[in-house]
Chain A
Amino acid sequence: MTERQHWQMAFLKQARLDWEAYQRTSQAVWPTCHRLLFLQMASEKLSKAVLITGHSSLETITQSHAAFVKFMQVASKDRKLQKVLGMKKSQQKAQFKTLLPLAQEIELLAPALAQSGPNPEYPWKDASGNISAPGDYSFPLMKRLRETPQGIQLLRYTEIFLKRFEELFM
């Protein structure tokens, strides 16, 4: 196994653990910020597990948090995925396109990308000067993920990609 493949397996393992943590932190018991933190981390590491076998440098990959949307955009054209999902090329492209806004919202939860805005990890100061803690914020994104067709589909795909990673991306 090459060093890149070792990195890939390490990112994948951690992505799966983050996803498991997301699933175990039930809505009734856990604050939304913690659930979204696990979801954001799972999606970023899933994307990096795919990215790592491309030619981007390890430094570029580890330093960037903007991986999930890129991954979804490229996945929308992936022939292997098309076969597994049983869709036509144009269907796959169109469906993934509808998921991108939510994928971007998840990506922007990373504190480095949130630009002093709501994020699930650190307090922030809003434009009015109010300081908020993630635990006090409602994160409307969670409702959209749970209740809209796009949100449900995006979470379903994330789970499929993680569970069937070896078949789909290796």
Chain B
Amino acid sequence: MSQNHNIISAAESLMQEHFELEPNLEQIIWINSDKTTEIRLLEINSETFPAGAVLSFYFAPDDDFPYATIMAEITPDEWQKVQRHEIPLPEGWTLESYKVYSREMVTV
């Protein structure tokens, strides 16, 4: 099994878990999904508190989940602003390559 396949499988499993836990999670944007060493997720949640910024948190890999994960939650309005470049993404994150996941795409 390729490294790329493994990270896709791990990321989708994580996203599935988050969609199951969060009824108000509308979309998950996998930013720079071509990276094979870490997973950067932007979660679009209508229930989250707007901060006017993308505040991303790092989670180290462990035995159960072997990829570093960097995750931020923003509102749908903040996502629009990110796309219009009115709110900057975290350092090194770009919109050059990303995948948009909806609940239907990853939940059974």
Contact = CB atoms under 8 A, between A and B. Distances in A.
Interface string A17-52: 000000000000000000000000000000000110
Interface string B1-40: 0000000000000000110011000000000000000001
Interface in B82-108: 88, 90-93
Nearest 4 CB-CB pairings of A with B: A55-B90, A54-B56, A66-B51, A53-B58
Given A54-B56, A79-B64, A104 B49 contact: yes
A69 interface: yes
B55 A64 contact: yes
A64 B90 CA distance: 14
A77 B21 contact: yes
Q: How large is the interface on A (under 10, 10 to 19, 20 to 34, 35 or more residues)?
A: 20 to 34
A60 B88 contact: yes
B91 A55 contact: yes
Nearest to A107: B49
B55 A70 contact: yes
Interface of A: 50-51, 53-57, 60-61, 63-64, 66-67, 69-71, 73-74, 77-80, 89-90, 93, 104, 170
Contacts of B17: 77, 89
Q: Which of B18, B55, B93 has the most CB of A within 10 A?
A: B55
